[in-house]
Amino acid sequence: MGKKTDLISILVIVIIGMFIPFLGSIVITFGLDFTNFNDLLKIGSTFGWFLLIFAIELFAVFIYYQLTNKIANKKLEENKPK
């Protein structure tokens, strides 16, 4: 598999893995009912906000990784014997 396909697969597994404990904790804490449509909308919107905040955090980590990678590669090129 390709590098990006592996990354997408891992992220999907992580998101699904995060949803199960998130769902359980929301239901237990707030006593939400799965049969009530309004409660399902609350759960969905809360998880959506959670994913949005997670995506922002993941983007920040990605930018940090890219910047440090460029700096490290630049230092390696400078120290490389000619």
User: Does residue 31 come out as left (phi exceeding 0), alpha (psi in the -120 to 50 range) or beta?
Assistant: left
Number of CB atoms found within 10 A of residue 33's CB = 10
Cα dist from 5 to 1, 8, 9, 64, whole Å:
6, 5, 6, 22
pLDDT in tens, 7-41: 788 888 888 888 888 888 888 888 888 888 998 89
Helix (H, G, I), strand (E, B) or coil at 81: coil
Q: Look at the pTM and tell me if it is higher than 0.75.
A: no
82: confidence class by pLDDT, cuts 50, 70, 90: low
